[in-house]
Structure 1
Amino acid sequence: MNFTMHSRAKLTGWLFVSLAVILICVFYFYPMIQALLLSFKTGAGANLHFNGISNYKRLFSDKTLLTAVQNTFLYLIVQVPIMIILAMIISVLLNDSKLRFKSFFRTAIFLPCVTSLVAYSVVFKYLFGNDGLVNMLLTKLHLIAQPIQWISDPFWAKITIIIAITWRWTGYNMIFFLSSLQNIDYSIYEAARIDGASAVKQFISITVPMLKPIVLFTSITSTIGTLQLFDEVMNITKGGPGNATLSISQYIYNLSFKYTPDFGYAATVSYSVVAMIVVLSVLQIKLAGDK
């Protein structure tokens, strides 16, 4: 009797999750396997044929891919730490019990990450144009004599992309830090205050160590997001000038739809991104000292 009830319970559970499992297999695992098989093929358009590991050998001699990887890792190295630190500091400020209108500030800072990627990218493109609002303000404040070429200069174009993605995703990461801060026992800070610890000392010695799991989580998710960066580069600079802001994802798009379609090599580049994500995630976990 118990065995029958147990079997029915297991069957009921599998029936509940079966639809989700089928959908995940069809729309997630099946495309992954097909993309892996595609990475071993070559040819223009739909005229593909198996060519072994030639696409993977091509990765190491592709100068455009190297440029895209360098650009993407520059965004990663510069933007992600800035964003994580900003998100942490803002979350601490917004967690202050004495702060008024906390809900308004939290909503305002979180709002950018729910805006349309294309819409905000286009807005940034016009804001940082030669005659855009940013140059106008900097000129009126006498900080610059000539308009900065935010979009057409290789250096400033990268800065524009970094500013754009920082503006969009800082509030998203702030929510994770804020939720974790609210689970820290307030008595710990009271004890530190009684012992004479300043606000900065409390932040360094109490807040940062206790937020370590969230720092690790946001670092990994931000790394994954940056390696998949596409919309901002595509809509603000189009990868220019001269591939100066080209990202890996945009290069994959170009291989698939802009150049002569080479879906096999595009799939190979896509799997190289997967490898980068795995390696960087493992490194971050090891550096964090977590099992």
Structure 2
Amino acid sequence: MSSPERADAGVRAGGVAARRPVGGTLQLLGNEMATQFGRRRTWAMLGALALIPVLVAVAIRLVGGSRPGRGPAFLDQIAGNGLFVGLAALTVAIPLFLPLTVSVAAGDAIAGEAAHGTLRYLLVAPAGRVRLLVVKYLFAAAFCVAGTLTLVVVGTLAGWLLFPVGPVTLLSGVQVSVVEGLIRLLAIAGYASVSLLGLSAIGLFFSALTTVPVGAMAATAILAVTAQIVGAIPQLEALHPLLFTDRWLDFADLLRAPVVWDSFAANALLQAGYVLVFGAAAIARFVTRDVLS
């Protein structure tokens, strides 16, 4: 074989070798998504989240709206416009219910495989430890999106069925069409999804530390509650900007005209910091871990 032919063969071989990890990762990711979203537990958690906007809508329909300034944000707006059901449900779910379900999804990522004795086989596949962590985190992130969209979609449908729907009055006093209102609602769902990415990374880290999934889930959920408690203490105000929960409810700028994206960007930057720190910690722990399961 001539030198040019050998060079060409080397380029082709290198290209195939470069494509294999990518193809293997996509296949592993597809299998993970199919497996996890096919589990009854995943659908049970999404079903539990779907009950929140339904209960909110039915309660307001039967009892009537609350007085302005009382109860969760946007609750007093539902009777006048059903589009606020999804927004009120998100406000109710973000402090507790969404973090609980995300804690289960992320905390089970590695520890669940170890507990079921399948972790070693996943690594022999070969999946690679870092690649497996990335795939597990991507599922946790996908669950964040699925959870927030469940609240918004079910809330919108419930509001449409039980209440009048019309132009949405924004916080700045400007009215926008139903279509634009729905787009802004989806943007707020995106904001909520981004808000949970840091918690997902924390859950993945705890999951890499143990073979007991319940322990990782509990530790993640407790940390989410603790961070919110710290965020509510004025004396610890200096710590508030560092908490991954600090901007969870700061989506009001998406309900102004024009939209102000500063809070969205600041929240994304905050969550990215937690993803980098706890993602790196999870990798450092997992690549040196003796997998016996």
* TM-score, L = length of structure 2: 0.31
* TM-score, L = length of structure 1: 0.31
* Higher alpha-carbon Rg: 1
